[in-house]
Amino acid sequence: GENVEQHPSTLSVQEGDSAVIKCTYSDSASNYFPWYKQELGKRPQLIIDIRSNVGEKKDQRIAVTLNKTAKHFSLHITETQPEDSAVYFCAASGSNAGNMLTFGGGTRLMVKP
Amino acid sequence: KAGVTQTPRYLIKTRGQQVTLSCSPISGHRSVSWYQQTPGQGLQFLFEYFSETQRNKGNFPGRFSGRQFSNSRSEMNVSTLELGDSALYLCASRAHTNTEAFFGQGTRLTVV
């Protein structure tokens, strides 16, 4: 089955700096890669996703890049703000596994004002 | 459109008991997945149902089971509860393969 590894597990940055979270996946058939943000005590919510036919996607201060050959994808957050502090999860799924989303272990991002 | 609803929000059970959790997906979503979230283990996949059929199953013991009804509502059951089953149980619904999964607020289960 799919295995997703996520690094780092914790990340501390100063407000205004950039943050990068990296994930690798094992199943070359995976073709959908979402990122979720989970604030303390709340449900995970999708912040951005990318499909395997695209190498990069941006949404304001958030971007995701995908390298299918190397089987890794990354989340980039620029101009970080204190409200970006949360746990971020990457995930992967592919048509071979139906709707099964396999999540990485999560990254706790702390943005210091 | 109403979001994913999970009931109850909180549960306290004793070791050895069983528990049933409920999830109502977004209207029109036929896929419902269940995840166990613990501080050290992240989001662990339990199972996924689509049109009343279990399509995928994670690596959990047989004490964990689920089902889906014709209206897409899903239940998961945990029998013979153990202390280690204490966790936040999240369900998520999706409209189609490889689209956004919408999570419910979760049910926090505490086993004492």
Instruction: Name chain A contacts of B90, Cβ cutoff 8 Å.
Output: 43-44
Q: Distance (Å) from the C-alpha of residue B18 to the closest C-alpha of chain A?
A: 25
Average pLDDT over residues A81-87: 97
Average pLDDT over residues A7-20: 97
| CA dist A81 → A16, A17, A106, A110 (Å) | 6, 9, 19, 9
Instruction: Name chain B contacts of A94, Cβ cutoff 8 Å.
Output: 98
The pLDDT value given to residue A53: 85
The pLDDT value given to residue A97: 57
The pLDDT value given to residue A99: 64
pLDDT tens digits for B24-81? 999 999 999 999 999 877 899 999 999 999 988 999 999 999 999 999 999 999 999 9
Give the model's confidence band at B97: pLDDT under 50 very low, under 70 low, under 90 confident, else very high: confident
- Which of B97, B100, B102, B108 is the best substitution to test chain A (most A C-beta atoms within 10 A)? B97
Between A5-14, A90-99, B36-45, the lowest mean confidence (pLDDT) is in A90-99
Q: Is A22 within 8 Å of chain B by CB?
A: no
Nearest residue to A74 (alpha-carbon basis) of A27, A33, A30, A13? A33
Q: How many CA atoms lie within 13 A of A8 on its CB side?
A: 9
Q: Distance (Å) from the C-alpha of residue B35 to the closest C-alpha of chain A?
A: 10
Collapsing DSSP states into helix, strand and coil, what is residue B94?
strand
**Which residue, chain included where needed, has tokens 């101009």?**
A79
Average pLDDT over residues B84-110: 94
Q: Is A82 within 8 Å of chain B by CB?
A: no
The pLDDT value given to residue A29: 87
Point out the residue among A43, A94, A100 whose CB comes nearest to the CB of B105. Answer: A43
Average pLDDT over residues A51-58: 90
The pLDDT value given to residue A96: 63
